[in-house]
């Protein structure tokens, strides 16, 4: 990413930050921008999140190390990250009707991680997300070892976490990323 692209994208993030102050009430944009400029690789990951429809934004305050958590703030699971099975082994195990890829594989290529159950619940405190879609979530190894994976959505005014087989994929299921900057 060249300097002009970087500056333009930082302005997009700054505007989104200003448009959603309830997501990060105690955070100063200047501190976030300094972290972004100090970590250009992470800015590239955020751009990947943006380009796939994620609308990344800061969620909550800085952690003990001064890092900020960016999550996809798009109302629905990002359009450019849907119709994916859970991970690469699930993708390879499908004999027919194989999807384009996997959620975990795509997140890793982007340099991000899937939201955990806790991060997903935290994100949902700041708005109503996944009213029509659902999002794959980071899954504990003991569930994955049995062929399952977690996903979440919001229906009937509350947040749900469910399970599904890792090989499944749906047009309305994608994944949300988390990135610490």
Q: What is the percent of the chain where pLDDT is above 70?
A: 100
The last residue of a domain, from among 72, 97, 132: 72
Proportion of the chain above pLDDT 90, given as a percent: 95
60 and 92 assigned to the same domain? no
Whether the CB-CB separation of 58 and 121 falls below 8 Å is answered with: no
pLDDT in tens, 59-90: 988 898 999 999 999 999 999 999 999 999 99
Q: How far apart (Å, rounded) are the C-alpha atoms in residues 27 and 161?
A: 29
**Would you state the pLDDT for residue 62?**
86
pTM: 0.95
Do residue 26 and residue 96 come from a single domain?
no
Q: What is the pLDDT of residue 1?
A: 82
Instruction: Note the pLDDT of residue 101.
Output: 97
The CATH number of whichever domain residue 163 belongs to comes to 3.10.100
> Collapsing DSSP states into helix, strand and coil, what is residue 53?
coil
135 shares its domain with 47: no
Say yes or no: 119 and 176 in one domain.
yes
d(CA 77, CA 81): 8
| One domain, residues 92 and 144 | yes
The tens digit of pLDDT for each residue in 109-146 reads 999 999 999 999 999 999 999 999 999 999 999 999 99
More confident residue, 64 or 181: 181
Tokens of 67: 């890092």
**Do both 47 and 84 map to the same domain?**
no
pLDDT of 99 reads 96
Domain final residue pick, 37, 72, 107: 72
Q: How many domains does the chain have?
A: 2
- What's the pLDDT score for residue 132? 98
Q: pLDDT grade, residue 147 (50/70/90)?
A: very high
pLDDT of residue 78: 98
The pLDDT of residue 61 is: 86
The pLDDT confidence band at residue 54, using thresholds 50, 70 and 90, is: very high
Nearest to 126 by CA among 64, 181, 72: 72
- Per the structure, the complete domain to which residue 150 belongs is given by 79-180
Q: Residue 47 above 90 pLDDT?
A: yes
């Amino acid at each position: 990413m060249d300097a002009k692209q970087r500056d333009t994208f930082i302005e997009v993030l700054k505007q989104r930050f200003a448009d959603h102050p309830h997501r990060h009430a105690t955070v100063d944009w200047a501190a976030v921008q300094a972290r972004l400029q100090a970590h250009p690789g992470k800015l590239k990951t955020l751009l990947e999140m943006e380009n796939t429809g994620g609308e990344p934004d800061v969620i909550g305050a800085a952690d003990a190390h001064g890092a900020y958590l960016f999550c996809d703030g798009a109302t629905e699971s990002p359009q450019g990250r849907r119709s994916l099975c859970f991970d690469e082994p699930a993708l390879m195990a499908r004999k027919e009707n194989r999807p384009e890829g996997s959620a975990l594989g795509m997140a890793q290529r982007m340099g991000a991680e899937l939201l955990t159950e806790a991060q997903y619940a935290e994100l949902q405190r700041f708005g109503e997300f996944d009213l029509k879609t659902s999002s794959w979530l980071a899954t504990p190894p003991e569930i994955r070892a049995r062929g399952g994976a977690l996903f979440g959505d919001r229906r009937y005014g509350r947040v749900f976490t469910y399970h599904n087989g890792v090989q499944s994929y749906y047009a309305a299921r994608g994944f949300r990323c988390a990135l610490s900057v």
